[in-house]
Amino acid sequence: MSYVKGLICKECRRSYPKRPLYVCEYCFGPLEVEYDYGRIKRILTKKEIIKRSKNMWRYWELLPIDKYPIVGLYTGFTPLFRAKNLEKALGVRELYIKDDSVNHPTLSFKDRVVAVALSKAKEFGFDTVACASTGNLANSTASQAAEAKFRCFIFIPADLELSKIVGTLIYNPILVAVEGNYDQVNRLCSEIATKYKWAFVNINIRPYYAEGSKTFAYEIVEQLQWHAPKHIVVPCAGGSLITKIWKGLKEFYKLGLIDKLDTKIYAAQAQGCAPIVNAVKENSEIIKPVKPNTIAKSLAIGNPADGVYAVSTVRESGGWAESASDEEIVEAIKLLAQTEGIFTETAGGVTLGVAKKLIKRGFIPKDESIVLCITGQGLKTQEAISSKIGSFIKIKPNISSFEENVIKKIRR
Ligand SMILES: *Cc1c(COP(=O)(O)O)cnc(C)c1O
Ligand SMILES: [Zn+2]
C-alpha cells in the first residue's frame, strides 16, 4: 500500500516513476516524491495518528515506502519541551526545544532519513548501501545497515571527530576516509554511484531519503497540540532538513491538520561555512560555494545540494538566516547545557547561537512561539569543547583532603 504517485522534477515538473532516480534527464533539476494528498486526507486524521505507536512511522502515508519499514522502528517521536530556563536567559516568552540529540538509534536526526532510505533500498532490491557523510549520516547508515544486513560503504572526510569515527566503525562497515573536505568526498561518491550499483542514501536515493526529515516537522506540530510554532530555527548543511520541514508544514496545512501556515523558518550555519546564509543576506538566487573552516563539522558542506531550496524556504516563509562563530557555538553549547541540561553537538550550538542573535537583533520577536531544532548529541563532538569547560578537582580519599581542596575553595 502506498500513496506515492511517483517522482517529479522540482524545476520543470516532469513526472518520473518510483525508481532509484534523482535528477531530471531534461533539465538536471532534482526529483522529489509526489503523493496523492486527496486520498491521504481521507485517512490521515488527528484521531487516526494519535492511536498509533510513537515513532516516525505514525505518519507513514506521507513517507515514500510501499512495504513495511525494515529499520528505524523506534526512530523519531523525540521529546519536544518548553525551555523555561532558556526563555529567561534569552528574554523570550515561549521557547521550545525539539530534541533529536536522543533520537534512536544513533542520536541524531539522521536516523529519520536513513530509516526511509534503507527501507526503500531494500524494496528496490539493493544489497549494498553507501553514503557520503559529515559524521552523523555515517553513524546512522552504518548502524541501520548492520541491522538490515546490507553490505555498507561509508565515505567521510579524514578529519572527522573521533567519536563519529568510532561510532561508525563499531558497526563494521567499510569505512573510507578521504583526504579532502566533504564536498570532495561527495563529488567522488557521485562518480562511484554512477559506476557501482549501490544505494547511496544521500545521492541516488536522495529523493526518498530526504522525505524522512518531514517527520521532524510533523512531530513538532503534533507535540504542540496541532499548532505550528511562529518561528523555527534550523541548522543547515546540505539544506535538506530545512527544506523538508517547510514541505512537512505545507502538507499538514493541505491535509487540514493545521489551520494556518504562518511559520517563519530561519537558516542557521557556522560562520566558517555559511553559503546558504550568505545567499539569503545577499538576496541572491545562486549559492556561492565556500571552503569550510569551522568546528561544526556536521554542517561543513561548502556546496549544499539543496542550497537554493533552503534559500527559497527562508524567503517563502518570511524568515531569515544568520551564522555563528566558533566561539559563539561553544558559548551556546554551554548555555543549553547549563540552562536546560541538554548536551548538544556543535550543530546544536549553531542553532542556539544563531537564535540568540536573531532574537537580540529583533528578527525573531520575543513574545511569539519559537522552536529550536537540536539535531545532534554533544558526546559526539567533545573535541570542540573539552578545553573550554571547567575541570575536576583531584583529591585524596579522605575527608580532610576533601575539605582542604573542595570545601575551602568553593566557599565564596
Ligand atoms: C546533517 C545534519 C544537519 C543538516 O542537515 P541537512 O539536511 O544536510 O541540511 C543538521 N544537524 C546535524 C546534527 C546533522 O548531522
Ligand atoms: Zn526537470
pLDDT at 1 over 90: no
Average pLDDT score over residue span 268-281: 98
Q: Whose CA is nearest to atom 5 of ligand 1?
A: 237
Q: With contact defined as beta carbons under 8 Å apart, do 376 and 123 qualify?
A: no
Report residue 124 CA to chain centroid gap: 25
Distances in Å between the alpha carbon of 380 and those of 121, 271, 344? 27, 21, 9
Q: What is the C-alpha separation between 332 and 355, in angstroms, rounded?
A: 10
DSSP 8-class letter at 29: P
Query: Which residue among 143, 154, 243, 298 has the greatest number of ligand 1 atoms within 8 angstroms of its CB, and so is best to mutate?
Result: 298
Judging by beta carbons within 10 Å of its beta carbon (0-12, 13-18, 19+), is residue 356 exposed, middle or buried? buried
Find where cell 526511509 sits: 116
Q: Whose CA is nearest to atom 11 of ligand 1?
A: 375
pLDDT (tens digit per residue) in 55-76: 999 999 999 999 999 999 999 9
Give the relative orientation of helices 136-148 and 162-169 as an angle to the nearest 10 degrees: 10
**Ligand 1 interacting residues, C-beta cut-off 6 A:** 108, 110, 136, 235-241, 298-299, 345, 347, 375-376
pLDDT at 409 over 90: no
Average pLDDT score over residue span 317-344: 98
The 8 Å CB, 24+ separation contacts for 40-44 are: 40/3, 40/255, 41/254, 41/255, 41/256, 44/255, 44/257
Q: What is the C-alpha separation between 350 and 316, in angstroms, rounded?
A: 22
Q: With contact defined as beta carbons under 8 Å apart, do 260 and 228 qualify?
A: yes
Which ligand 1 atom minimizes the distance to the CA of 136? 15
pLDDT of residue 226: 98
Residue ranges with CB less than 5 Å from ion ligand 2: 9, 11-12, 24, 26-27, 29
Q: What angle do CA 213, 103, 55 make, to 5 degrees?
A: 70
Q: What is the C-alpha separation between 153 and 198, in angstroms, rounded?
A: 9
Ligand nearest to the CA of 7: 2
pLDDT of residue 358: 98
Q: With contact defined as beta carbons under 8 Å apart, do 117 and 208 qualify?
A: yes
Report domain extents, the chain.
Answer: 80-103+212-384
Tell me the β-bridge partners of 16: 7
Q: What is the pTM of this model?
A: 0.97
pLDDT (tens digit per residue) in 110-151: 999 999 999 999 999 999 999 999 999 999 999 999 999 999
pLDDT at 275 over 90: yes
pLDDT at 322 over 90: yes
Residue 13 Cα to ligand 2 middle (Å): 6
pLDDT at 250 over 70: yes
Residue 46 Cα to ligand 1 middle (Å): 29
Q: What angle do CA 263, 265, 266 make, to 5 degrees?
A: 150
Residue 238 Cα to ligand 1 middle (Å): 7
Find where cell 541540561 sits: 341
Q: What is the C-alpha separation between 110 and 140, in angstroms, rounded?
A: 6
pLDDT of residue 410: 83
Q: Which fold has domain 80-103+212-384?
A: Rossmann fold (3.40.50)
Residue 6 Cα to ligand 2 middle (Å): 14
Residues listed for the chain: 412
Dig out the grid coordinates for 340 from the structure: 536546560
How many CB atoms sit inside 10 A of residue 66's CB?
12
pLDDT of residue 117: 98
Confidence of residue 412 (pLDDT cuts 50, 70, 90): low
Confidence of residue 269 (pLDDT cuts 50, 70, 90): very high
Mean pLDDT score of the chain: 97
pLDDT (tens digit per residue) in 21-48: 999 999 999 999 999 999 999 999 999 9
How many CB atoms sit inside 10 A of residue 123's CB?
18
pLDDT of residue 167: 97
pLDDT (tens digit per residue) in 73-99: 999 999 999 999 999 999 999 999 999
User: Which residues, 6 or more positions from 203, have their beta carbon under 8 angstroms from its beta carbon?
Assistant: 22, 131, 132, 186, 189, 190, 193
Q: What is the C-alpha separation between 83 and 372, in angstroms, rounded?
A: 10
The closest alpha carbon to 220, from 258, 267, 268, 266, belongs to: 258
pLDDT at 411 over 80: no
Residue 401 Cα to ligand 1 middle (Å): 47
